[in-house]
A and B are shown apart, each in its own frame.
Chain A
């Protein structure tokens, strides 16, 4: 079955810096890769996703890149703000609408 590895487990940046979180997956059949943000005690919420027919996707300060050959995908947050502080999870599935397999999460701390 699918296995998703996520790095780093913790990341501390200064406000205004960029943050990058990386994930690898094992199943070449996976073709849907969402990123979720989870604040303390809250539900995970989708922030961006990418499908395997696309190499990069941007939404304001957030971007995701996908390298299918290497089975890598990454989340990039630019101009970080304190409200970006949260746990971020990557996930993979073999199609949108089926079971997601999650990474273990990255705790991002943005200090002002």
Chain B
């Protein structure tokens, strides 16, 4: 497709379960970003890749959060031992380096019960 694709769109996890969220960026987009958006809040930066290199992971809230982009295209955000406070929409965005617009995916709504 032409846009950023995320899957699944919705995920319900029991507390303590591990989850994996997938992002397919726009073809050719070198930069990829993960954001966490709590209800009624702005997107909070989690981590940033340029190709396969993770250049910034300063926003990851704990060592339970891990992201990878092994071949410089698809990225996976993994959350281990999910907690209720992890419930949020996880947004992925991609862009060309030094260019303006970051294109967002539809997000994955994670609910931890």
Write the residues of chain A forming the contact surface with B, with a CB cutoff of 8 angstroms: 1, 6, 32, 34, 36, 42-46, 49, 89, 95-105
Query: What would be 28 A-B contacts, judged by CB atoms less than 8 Å apart?
Result: A6-B42, A34-B100, A36-B104, A43-B91, A43-B105, A44-B43, A44-B91, A46-B100, A46-B101, A49-B100, A89-B43, A95-B98, A96-B95, A96-B99, A96-B100, A97-B95, A97-B97, A97-B99, A99-B48, A100-B33, A101-B45, A102-B42, A102-B43, A102-B44, A103-B42, A104-B41, A104-B42, A105-B40
Extra 10 A-B pairs, beta carbons < 8 Å, given A96-B98, A99-B48: A43-B4, A96-B100, A97-B98, A97-B99, A99-B33, A100-B43, A102-B42, A102-B45, A105-B40, A105-B42
Residue among A1, A46, A104 making CB contact with B102, cutoff 8 Å: A46
The range of chain B's interface size is 20 to 34
CA of A98 to CA of B102, assembled, Å: 9
Of B40, B42, B44, B100, the most chain A CB neighbours within 10 A belong to: B42
- The yes or no answer to B107 lying at the interface (CB within 8 A) is yes
Chain A residues with CB below 8 A from B96, complex form: 97
**Would B41 and A32 count as touching, CB distance under 8 A?**
no
- The yes or no answer to B58 lying at the interface (CB within 8 A) is yes
